Structure 1
Amino acid sequence: MKPSSCFGTFELIPERSALLCDGEAVHLGSRAFSLLRILVENAGKVVSGAELTAQIWPDTSVGEANLRVHLAAVRKVLSEGGCPDGCIVTVPGRGYQFAMPVTHRKTENYQKSWVNVPPLLAKLIGRDQVIQEILSDLADRRLISIVGSGGIGKTSVALATAGRAIEIYPDGVFFVDFTSLTVSSPLAFALTSSLRLPASSGIDEMAVFDYLGPRETLIVFDNCEHVIEAAASFAEKVLRECPNVHLLATSREPLRTEGEFVKRLLPLQAPSLGDASLTAVEALAFPAVQLFVERASSGVAGFSLTDEDAPALALLCNKLDGIPLAIELAAARIDLFDIRTLTNQLEDCLELLTRNRRTAQERHRTLRATLDWSYGLLSDGEQLLLARLSVFRSEFDRDAALMVATDHAMTKGRIWESLPNLVAKSLLVMSNQGSTPVFRLLDSTRAYAIEKLGDGPGANSVRRLHAEYIRDKTLSLAPKNGFVVKSHQESHSKMVDELRAAIVWAFSAKGDPELGIEVIASSAYLWFQLSLFEEFKVHADRALEAMSGTPNASRAELRLLLARGPALYETLGAVPELFGTATRALELARQLDDRLGISGALHNLWRYHHGLGEYSQSLDVALQIEEYVGADSQHVWWNPLKALSLLYLGNLKECRSVLSEIEDQVTISDDGIRGAYDYNLAVLVKGTLARVLWLQGFPEDAVRVAEESVAAALETKQSVAICFALSIAGCPINIWNRNLEDAERNLSLLQEHARLSNSLYWKQYVDVFRLGAVAAKGQSTDRQFKAGRQQSHWDYRHWENFSVLGLGFAPVLLVQRAKSDPSWWCAPEVLRLEAVRMHGEGESQARADVCRLLQQSLEIAQRQQALSWELRTATTLLELAQTGDEITQAKRLLKETMSDFAAGFDSYDFRRAEALLEKSPRFAGASL
């Protein structure tokens, strides 16, 4: 053991690689420190540059210039500490000499003990900030407890913190591992061993306190939870008897001692779910992903994260709750499974995550061992409550816990007492929603607790109570008078996993199908709010089949049918099955004299007719609904159906009037109220109004209102509402206006939410508008047109919107309708485009037909007061005019049409018309 060397105000301690100035640690790089140490050890002697470089860089060939750089750093530090300028002398041609007097003193035993902090064997990821926070807090707090669930990384953080604290505490940092101790073990003995004091001091706490009393040290108490009472008592004694000692403890629950500061260790952050476009670079910005990749790379040579696997790894890290141990164990299996297979296998995570370092502590070798350790520390009541709470798949509150867990063995009082204990012991996670605490189990803990719950009669009783609670909860959140409010919307997403669990149990061999029917029927509205139509349809069909022949099931059947209608429409469109569902619901509602049910059934019938382009029939149905709901302002909800029917019938003026009445009662920032099976009112009104405005010749206002509709839809976070706003306004209006960047942005948004809603119906709209955007750019080809024309799976509404986006897009049946139905909203544009197509084919007999189609287009547009269609037709008439009289008449018509505009002068169509008027009187060819 080398003595320390003292000179001036400095003390150099070789054993600790430490340099102190007036007792305070001075930072000096490792090579600069080695240089100073060699010179001080040879004080008064000349040491050659070659000798210095040989000792400092034994395996590297460096020049003396490197030596001079570090020498300058040493001289600067010594000068700042008061040493004279000539304390290190350069002897030309010979070397360097330390010229200050040096005294030596023997280093005491305790000064060597700092090395008992075990080094971390692997890189610690994602914990730099919390380590810095703990180091900072230690300056003002004498006891900090790092608390968290098993496998969260408490010991690793404590070791990393202790390693960095060595330079801060002049008398050392000591690590005390309590893992192998029992409740009866004297904790002072473990501390004595870490301090390397004589064994006789182990049972004499005062001897330990006398030893530590004058010293400034940091002591780490690791793994306190299984000796929590003894650890808390001993920590208080150490702090009381040793005023310069600071303690850092790790435990799965706080020590609850006086002056304790709890630092709860959070999981590693992982990417949010649902981003299918997540790249590897983006994913690697998150510590959970970094840890997985780092550990996988060390186990499998050449492993790297690809863009294709990034979303799956994000899901994996979320399923593992960001727990470092679980992530490391998963990464250790990458030699057997690829990332996506590994993610799918995690349903049995306790069995999958079973391999770790052989040298790891027993409780950290597998995820199950970690949970076994925590579970064994619980009381009987806490073990029972944890098992029963495993029936919850997401968050739950105290009332929910009482509902599923209370019986003669687990009284309300025991539950109230055990809940906070499970939180303290890091087996439950608690957060606050307003003034209400809510709880959840981590996925790994839940999987373990479900095993403990078992599958016997007691477990079945708990699962029944859970299903009854979920049924009652969904009923309490159900729409009132057909309306859903925002405060309830926020609860819906948290309920869906509970519904799934309740339904699975209800239709299992030990379940209760009648209760399952009640759960599905009571929750029908909720699946719509979450855009989970396909899944709801499966559940609804199961319930309808199970209730066949069940007495007094009419109301439940009606609720299911009312929700099944929009589920069909939003996923498949106006299929015949929708008509059958709507008429059966209408029959039941009339039998039950349920006025709201009658309105809902008629709404589904409206969907059917509207989806098939039968707008006169849809208007008749909308008027029937109006009769049932009356003129009460709270039923303004149904008026958008009437407005939509009027829009597609080409009755723009009356449609605008209806929308104006509703618009007075809705704002873009409304509180989220919407019908149980329909979109937010602002979305409907703004989206419909945007299209009317464009048709009436207000293209710029239409864009603004369209964006308001999309914004309102995004605020609801309901994918189908977003798809509606984009399809009725956000995409087509920007394509018509040639705002192609905005159109592409909205198309991407539509594609994303069509995918999230898992709806074929909305996905087909993506294809419609994608081809329209290509045509608007002038990049389309005959092959692309034919690809669009061959979409046999499109329904009528898709074809209708497609037909007005490009030349030759309209199929024969739609052209025929445009010729025979002057009340059809898009007839003018379909006829105009057909005329341009015929003209382009150059048929000699087509000239008269072209003129007739254009004249018909113009008359319908004028009758509908669709100024935008009228402008396009007038422009085309001038483009195709051939004789002087035709040109003169076409110019006059175009000027008159343009004079009718009160806005939109900078729009694409208006500027194009202006440019055409300025050209020569003869025109060749045709364009859009």
Structure 2
Amino acid sequence: MDALAPATSKRLRAQRLPAEVTSFVGRRHEVAEVKRLLSGAHVVTLTGAGGVGKTRLALRVAADVRRAFRNGVWLVELAALDEPELLVQTVAEALEIRDRSPRPPLKVLTDHLRDKQALIILDNCEHLLHDCAVMTETLVRAAPDLRVLVTSRQTLGVDGEHTLTVPPLALPDSGLVRPSTEALAQSDAVRLFAERAGAVLADFAVTDDNREAVEGICRRLDGLPLAIELAAVRLRAMSVQQLFNRLDDRFRLLTSGSRAVLPRHQTLRALIDWSYALCTDQERALWERVSVFAGDLDLEAAETVCSGDGIASGEIVDLVIGLVDKSVLVREEYPSGVRYRLLETIRQYGRDRLRESGEEGALRRRHRDYYRRLSSEAYNRLFGPSQVAWFSRLQREHANLRAALEYCSTESGEVATGLDMASDLLYHWITSYYLGEGRRWLDQALAADTEPSEARARALWANGWLAVLQDDIPTAAVMLEESRVIGERLGQESVLAYVALYFGMVAANEGDVKSSIALYEEAVTRHRAAGNLAGLALALIRLSLSHSLVGDSSRAISVGEECLALCDAHGESWHRAYAMMALGVEAWRQGDVQRAVDLEKKSLRFNRSLNDSLGVAISLEVLAWVAATERQYRKAARLLGILRTVWEAIGTPLSGFTHLIHYHDECESRARQALGESAFSTAVERGARLPYDEALAYALGEEAPGNGQTDEAVRPSLLTRREMEIAQLVAQGMSNKEIAASLVIAQRTAEGHIEHILSKFGFTSRAQIAVWVGDWNRTTQDDQRDPGDSA
């Protein structure tokens, strides 16, 4: 007869879960989601890579919900169990069932749980999937009030199973604007490192001096909790910078885990060895081959690069599914389709295995060939309806493009291919954050391949344009002159057309607008004759701006509208956005403010969607000039503050358009004089503090969905009236109990509201709520005190 040992007291029930000996960091969203799933599903499985924190998350959820299970919450640790036939007995022992009858163990377990309201955590099931699935399905069919929470690198596959993939800890934002040290320290991965480092070095903190090394460590380790914790321990013997510098050899470096856990959880290498052992031979081979990709990849890339030598192209999709199921590959959804990613630590493991197999060189060559073809196709589709899709694809593939260029620069005989590839990527360098990187690739390839060929001439004028955008005019002129000489020698009309175009930019930036007009007209003639539509459109845009600068309004408008018509005829968008920007400048100069604003906002919206920071910045400039002209001086000053941040991120104020700098200076002078130094500085700082997306929403005057409010009200509009009231009390330093007493509500209700506020804003602490409330209150007070955008 089965009998539960006398372990029903609150004291013993509390001991069924291990105590948390270190702080639990982050996972606010995941904790809430697992609780939600458990409220309706009998089986919830947490999947994810080894070391991602599945067990820790399960235990935190269990501790939070244990009051809801009157018959207890039980942890069953299966990592050390190698004999499937002992699974049921192990579960029974964990549940403290004492039974000496001859009944089958599964019958004993089922009968015991039949009328129980309990939660069982089956921890580390990946090596016992079939047996765990059979047992779990039997138990939940027999016990309607039973819940089973599973942690595994692969799902059980039982009926009614709900799954949650546990991601690595959140890393700091890596957008256009560099976060402050305080904001950096609030990201979950950095918080975990800092807390674990503080246990090793009592005075450790994230500072301006060590922030780059700390962030680098967390990024190199993918936000993987186990890897971060192992890394923090090494601070006993080395500095943060030394630790970061040695992470390339991470599998030897990160070896000191807790002696209280299984050997395979004590070191990073052993943990991933365990995942590797669970794969089939073909899955292991694909894992190794996929490691040549940097960042992520799509199915087409995997089929092209990784097939052959024992893996048919048609088998790739099933092998990919297998690696996703085993939490080796991470599946990610994009508007363009599904992509797959190896966490960097898992990728490095696969690369080590690939190197040991002797296949690394061949796979790297196939990887380079694939991305060389991709770059060429993108360049050939530069002007047409698929342009934006190709721009976006190249941005997603940037890490792989970089890896392919690295191959060209390090392998003998590949420099010429790298030169062509870097030139094909010209618009990628310009429309993304990688302008400086593009120039470095071109500089490097041009220095290594000095043959006066058509490819060199093209690389020279391409690099010349990048130099102009970096305001490096003398170097641009030297490269363009060499390109012209080669073009004339080889009779390359296309080369001469681009040389004229970019020499026109040089002349404009040097203040010689008359010469720039002549050069742009030459470029228009040559590009039109050669049928080069992209070059023609770019020349027309610049010609329109130059005519505007000399006051020839009719020519500025006719040339700009010709460019718009050309783009519309071919379904082209990027050059069209810049043509609208140029026409907006002329509309503003003529006093047609509404048309200028409409054109610039359309241009800004497109460039925002493409993440073209240069295009965004130029349109923001014109909107600031318009605001000053309309005597909206506070708005102009805020836009100047936004521009300060954006131009700092790009690296050069009015990059490639420095001949327009006097418009910027006039705008600043008028706003400063109208507002006074103090009010002007305050408005600029407020603009500079805005997060990038909110800054662009402000410039566009966008409304919060369904609220009819401007962007400054967006965040408050996310909160209910009660939540806003509670946020204000949090900012005053009140505890949950004090807030409940003040508002005459239950403390649990107050806690629930605070949880919602944190979730809506993506915050991780009450302190962040307080900071936000303070900023919002100051903004509201400034708006009430400010005399407004008066004439």
TM-score over 0.5 (shorter chain): yes
Deviation at 1:470, TM superposition (A): 0.6
Distance in 2 separating the partners of 1:620 and 1:683? 21
8 Å contact 2:190–2:215 — kept in the other structure? yes
8 Å contact 1:482–1:596 — kept in the other structure? no
Deviation at 1:277, TM superposition (A): 4.9
Match among 163, 171, 176 for residue 262 of structure 1 = 163
RMSD: 4.0
Match of 2:695 in 1: none
Deviation at 1:748, TM superposition (A): 3.4
Match among 456, 468, 472 for residue 557 of structure 1 = 456
The letter for the 2-side match of 1:116 is R
Q: How has the CA–CA distance of structure 1 residues 769 and 248 changed in structure 2, closer, same or farther, with 3 Å as cutoff?
A: same
Greater shift after overlay, 579-588 or 318-327? 579-588
Match of 1:17 in 2: 10
Task: Please give the TM-score of this superposition, normalised by the length of structure 2.
Answer: 0.74
Match of 2:612 in 1: 718
Tell me which protein shows more helix as a share of its residues. Answer: 2
Deviation at 1:520, TM superposition (A): 2.7
**2:623 maps to 1:623:** no
Distance in 1 separating the partners of 2:668 and 2:509? 26
Distance in 1 separating the partners of 2:115 and 2:509? 85
**2:91 maps to 1:191:** yes
Distance in 2 separating the partners of 1:763 and 1:614? 15
Match among 602, 608, 618 for residue 500 of structure 2 = 602
The letter for the 2-side match of 1:567 is L
Deviation at 1:498, TM superposition (A): 1.2
8 Å contact 2:627–2:636 — kept in the other structure? yes
Match of 1:233 in 2: 134
Match of 1:31 in 2: none
Distance in 2 separating the partners of 1:517 and 1:533? 16
Q: How many residues align?
A: 669
Distance in 2 separating the partners of 1:413 and 1:645? 56
Match among 312, 329, 345 for residue 411 of structure 1 = 312
Distance in 2 separating the partners of 1:212 and 1:448? 43
Deviation at 1:540, TM superposition (A): 1.7
Partner deviation per Cα, 1:411-449 (whole Å, 9 max, x = no partner): 334433321111011110112335743111111211222
Match of 1:500 in 2: 402
**2:451 maps to 1:458:** no
Match of 1:246 in 2: 147
8 Å contact 2:50–2:271 — kept in the other structure? yes
Equivalent positions of 1:9-48 (< 5 A) are 15-17=8-10
Equivalent positions of 1:775-854 (< 5 A) are 775-776=669-670, 777=672
**2:330 maps to 1:429:** yes
Match among 166, 172, 180 for residue 72 of structure 2 = 172
Match among 664, 682, 692 for residue 577 of structure 2 = 682
Query: Greater RCO between the two (CA within 8 Å, min separation 6)?
Result: 2
The letter for the 1-side match of 2:634 is E
Distance in 2 separating the partners of 1:246 and 1:726? 55
Equivalent positions of 1:572-591 (< 5 A) are 572-575=471-474, 577-586=475-484
Partner deviation per Cα, 1:463-482 (whole Å, 9 max, x = no partner): 00000001011122224365
Distance in 1 separating the partners of 2:209 and 2:528? 55
The letter for the 1-side match of 2:513 is Y
Equivalent positions of 1:189-588 (< 5 A) are 189-198=89-98, 204-242=105-143, 244-274=145-175, 277-283=178-184, 285-306=186-207, 313=214, 316-334=217-235, 343=244, 345-434=246-335, 436-454=337-355, 457-480=358-381, 482=383, 485-509=387-411, 512-549=414-451, 554-575=453-474, 577-586=475-484
Distance in 2 separating the partners of 1:770 and 1:609? 20
Distance in 2 separating the partners of 1:511 and 1:423? 37
SS of residue in 2 equivalent to 1:493: helix
The letter for the 2-side match of 1:296 is A
The letter for the 2-side match of 1:655 is A
8 Å contact 1:525–1:563 — kept in the other structure? no
SS of residue in 2 equivalent to 1:439: strand
**Overall identity of the aligned pairs, in %:** 25
Partner deviation per Cα, 1:479-505 (whole Å, 9 max, x = no partner): 436567211111121222112212222
Deviation at 1:409, TM superposition (A): 2.7
The letter for the 1-side match of 2:456 is E
**2:625 maps to 1:745:** no
Q: How has the CA–CA distance of structure 1 residues 329 and 510 changed in structure 2, closer, same or farther, with 3 Å as cutoff?
A: farther
Match among 81, 102, 105 for residue 181 of structure 1 = 81
Deviation at 1:132, TM superposition (A): 4.0
8 Å contact 2:25–2:191 — kept in the other structure? yes
Deviation at 1:157, TM superposition (A): 1.9
Match of 2:18 in 1: 118
**2:538 maps to 1:645:** no
The letter for the 2-side match of 1:433 is Y
Q: How has the CA–CA distance of structure 1 residues 171 and 725 changed in structure 2, closer, same or farther, with 3 Å as cutoff?
A: closer
Deviation at 1:351, TM superposition (A): 4.2
Match of 1:127 in 2: 27
Match among 124, 132, 152 for residue 52 of structure 2 = 152
Deviation at 1:183, TM superposition (A): 4.3
SS of residue in 1 equivalent to 2:257: coil
Q: How has the CA–CA distance of structure 1 residues 138 and 663 changed in structure 2, closer, same or farther, with 3 Å as cutoff?
A: closer
Match of 2:723 in 1: none
The letter for the 2-side match of 1:506 is C
**2:649 maps to 1:756:** yes
The letter for the 2-side match of 1:718 is D
8 Å contact 2:563–2:576 — kept in the other structure? no
Greater shift after overlay, 398-407 or 747-756? 747-756
Distance in 2 separating the partners of 1:715 and 1:136? 34
8 Å contact 1:486–1:671 — kept in the other structure? no
8 Å contact 2:654–2:661 — kept in the other structure? no
Distance in 2 separating the partners of 1:308 and 1:701? 48
8 Å contact 2:471–2:656 — kept in the other structure? no
SS of residue in 2 equivalent to 1:507: helix
Q: How has the CA–CA distance of structure 1 residues 503 and 702 changed in structure 2, closer, same or farther, with 3 Å as cutoff?
A: closer
Distance in 2 separating the partners of 1:353 and 1:767? 52
Partner deviation per Cα, 1:186-215 (whole Å, 9 max, x = no partner): 212212321333475697433333333443
Deviation at 1:736, TM superposition (A): 6.9
Greater shift after overlay, 559-568 or 157-166? 157-166
SS of residue in 2 equivalent to 1:623: helix
8 Å contact 2:468–2:656 — kept in the other structure? no
8 Å contact 1:471–1:519 — kept in the other structure? yes
SS of residue in 2 equivalent to 1:122: coil
Q: Choose 1 or 2 for highest CA Rg.
A: 1
Gaps of 5+ in 2: 676-787
8 Å contact 2:603–2:619 — kept in the other structure? yes
SS of residue in 2 equivalent to 1:116: coil
Gaps of 5+ in 1: 5-12, 19-111, 675-679, 781-905, 912-928
